[in-house]
Amino acid sequence: MKKTQTSFNIETREIFKRLFGENTMLTEQLNRLLNDTTALIDSAGDTKTLYGIRVAVLGKNGSLTGILRGLKDLKNEERPVAGKLANDVRETIERELAQKEERLSDEEMERRLLYEKVDLTLDKKPFIVGKIHPLNAVLKKSVAFFVGLGFRVEESREIETVYYNFDALNTAPDHPARDAQDTFFITQDILLRSQTSTGQIRVMEKTRPPIRIISPGRVYRSDEADATHTPCFNQIEGLVVDKGVTMCDLKAVLESYAKFLFSDCTKIRFRPSYFPFTEPSVEVDASCPACHGSGCRICKGTGWIEILGAGMVNRNVLKGVGIDSDVYTGYAFGMGLNRITAIIHGITDARVPFEGDVRFLKQF
């Protein structure tokens, strides 16, 4: 193999000599460094040693790096020439390293191919199969249920405007949810959606009834994380708008869903509630899947667990998106996926599903 040029470019050297004289410290330092490094590269017998040389000379704390860093302290007229000289040295060293590395790694590969043998009697490594995160598993199951009933999946955006998160959802200007303490505002008008109900408006704006969608996704609220709150969690929104849709339809769909999710003997109940975008509004409880209604720690002795909010789409909301509320009615529901997953699996700390701890994930 042709030996590489190991001294500086003649021209640079001449200029340097003229500027600083033959024996300036820098010329000497660089010359010595180049010679020493070249000798080391020549004698290196394997790629590991070569890597060590690379780090020691060109690495962050390498000797040449140190010299290059010192260039900034030179006088203005000295710096360009000295810089060129130091760079010549760096390029030469890099070229030599690369050439030697290629040769050594070829040799190493040849040696391995010659001497390494495969021991076919060795036991195989354990094969660890990844699993679906419990939140995703419950999401998939829920989506499959609603799709089976003819719902379409319509994901919506996480960054929204005040209009979609509040105004179009008939939320009064002084509603407490509009407060920065409850909602993450990006600007005065742009926010991280605090509910998937925003998707209702986006869908109704672009589609005419019959509408039958679910809209799963992440929502954000400026809550401090603790055992029962996380600043981000997942919801599934449902919306049906058609002629003759009643609260009975809502109840039937939610009851089948609760039975599908927990067990066949699950019952649900509606409690009157308030949401600006539904009228009437309800909160929906399921009979406790752990004790089947007799009262336990999970349902705090009541036999019931709240699973979602729902109601008939408020006329004002329909009007706002240009749907004739004398012809069409609709229902909507919104549930916390994290909460439902926690109920199913007995997860007592809302933060845990976000932590990615394999000891937790392995249990599912």
- Interface residues toward ligand PHE, by CB under 6 A: 195, 197, 237, 275, 278, 309-311, 332-334
- Which strands make up the sheet holding 304-313, listed edge to edge? 152-153, 211-220, 232-242, 329-336, 304-313, 278-287, 268-275
* CB of 334 vs ligand PHE, minimal distance in Å: 3
* CB of 311 vs ligand PHE, minimal distance in Å: 5
Q: Judge contact between 237 and 196, C-beta under 8 A.
A: yes
Q: Nearer to ligand PHE by C-beta: 62 or 311?
A: 311
Residue at 173: amino acid letter: P
Q: Nearer to ligand PHE by C-beta: 275 or 304?
A: 275
User: What residue number has its CB nearest to ligand PHE?
Assistant: 334
The tokens for 7 are: 């001294």
The CA-atom distances, in angstroms, between 51 and each of 33, 55, 66, 114, 194 are 17, 6, 18, 24, 53
Q: Nearer to ligand PHE by C-beta: 90 or 193?
A: 193
Residue 339 backbone dihedrals phi, psi, to 5 degrees: -65, -45
* CB of 252 vs ligand PHE, minimal distance in Å: 17
Q: Nearer to ligand PHE by C-beta: 92 or 200?
A: 200
Whole-angstrom distance, CA of residue 290 vs CA of residue 301 = 11
Q: Nearer to ligand PHE by C-beta: 289 or 334?
A: 334
Q: Nearer to ligand PHE by C-beta: 104 or 177?
A: 177
* CB of 213 vs ligand PHE, minimal distance in Å: 12
Q: Judge contact between 143 and 238, C-beta under 8 A.
A: no
Residue at 60: amino acid letter: K
Radius of gyration of the chain (CA): 35
Residue with tokens 């993450």: 184
Count, residues in the chain = 364
E-assigned strand segments in 93-155: 152-153
Residue with tokens 């000379």: 57
* CB of 208 vs ligand PHE, minimal distance in Å: 20
Whole-angstrom distance, CA of residue 231 vs CA of residue 135 = 16
* CB of 197 vs ligand PHE, minimal distance in Å: 4
* CB of 273 vs ligand PHE, minimal distance in Å: 8
Could you count the other beta carbons within 10 Å of the beta carbon of residue 183? 20
DSSP β-bridge partners for residue 239: 213, 332
* CB of 141 vs ligand PHE, minimal distance in Å: 20
Q: Nearer to ligand PHE by C-beta: 59 or 276?
A: 276
Q: Nearer to ligand PHE by C-beta: 166 or 333?
A: 333
